[in-house]
Amino acid sequence: MEFSLSEDQQAFVASARAFSAGVLAPHAARWDKQAIFPKDALAQAGELGFMGMYTPESAHGLSMSRLDASLIVEELAKGCTATAAFLTIHNMATNMVGRYCQAATVEQWCPDLTAGKKLASYCLTEPGAGSDAASLVTTAIRDGDDYIVNGSKVFISGAGDTDVLVVMLRTGKPGAKGITALLIPADADGVSYGKKEEKMGWNAQATRMITFDNVRIPEVNRLGEEGQGFAIAMEGLDGGRINIATCSVGTAQQALEEAAAYVQERKQFGNAIAEFQSTQFQLADMLTELVAARQMVRLAAHKLDTKDSYASTYCAMAKRFATDVGFKVCNDALQLFGGYGYIKEYPMERHVRDTRVHQILEGTNEIMRVIISRKLLMDGALEIIK
């Protein structure tokens, strides 16, 4: 096994690090405080190729591996967690369009999506269908060469600010096989948006409900075949779990670096608090767990890239572990800052707020445990890890 990064990968990291430090980090606190969705920054990310990282080259993307993309996302998350997270959602939706839409639809949308000139939202969750995504009820009924869409989606990142929606809809009988994916222009007649949700974190991207009222969408906007939507959604979520796990690792790395610098400056009882053994042990545990999480994420990304038969299980394990560790490292870093960590003058409380939701989205960590344990009981641990 080779753990060192190639020259190309090091170049990706350097480019992402410079963009993160120069474009994202200086504005992250303001975006969070004022709930600003930084479209200009996302457009700049598009100029670097970051808005179509693993979208196929035939759809104007870079066709990166998921491992290479994760290296970039980790650096971006150090600058602004919420913006990096939205960027990964956009990448997931754009990749779906590029892989599964008809050529004419790909050419209509993907050049601007991969350039960051237009933005995409991914719409799966409904008021009554969260962890049980296969129970969704928003419908798309055939009417000649069109579909008529009715229903609603909730907790949609970027809703109201994006240009296109990749939507999972009920076209058939109950269950996973009755779900189809459609591309819906965000400004289509009959599409409306709810209020901007007031959230604990991720304030640099809007979260809204979307309602579809007799929205007419041509068949050419379908992704794949009828009934293929759930498979497309689950394929996307494997990568999405890598993405959100990577955002946790990147943010936790930033929090650890800030905490390590702070404890060497802050003095109590006549000494820098870094000289206290309890502080040193805390930092050692934070770093150890963070490195373990990073390696698990990269392993899962490799499994996904090589189409390993247990890739979904590895993605679930990586998501569960890295998001738990990421939140814990950020929370421990806040503790090392003491009272200063709790006030908004310092970024630590934002790191904590922004990473908390990672344990919920892309499948809650409880659902990750269900996925992992089912596969373990079905095939056995030795089969999974060999």
- The answer to whether 362 is a known catalytic residue is yes
The amino acid present at 212, given as its one-letter code, is: F
Which residues, 6+ apart, have CB-to-CB distance to 171 below 8 Å? 139, 140, 141, 142, 147, 178, 179, 180, 226, 227, 229
In the block, tokens 């993907």 appear at: 110
**b/e map 59-91, b = 16+ CB within 10 Å:** bbbbebbbbbbbbbbbbbbbbbbbbbbbbbbbb
* Amino acid letter, 107: E
Angle between helices 229-265 and 348-356 (to 10 degrees): 160
Contact yes or no for 133/126 (Cβ under 8 A): no
Cα 94 from Cα 61, distance rounded (Å): 9
3-state secondary structure of 194: coil
How far is C-alpha 326 from the geometric centre of its chain's CA atoms? 14
190 CB burial (10 A radius; 0-12, 13-18, 19+): middle
Q: Give me 334's structure tokens.
A: 């806040």
* Phi, psi (rounded to 5 degrees) for 149: -105, 130
End-to-end CA distance of the chain: 14
Of the residues 257, 275, 362, 383, only one is catalytic, namely 362
Catalytic residue positions?
Answer: 362
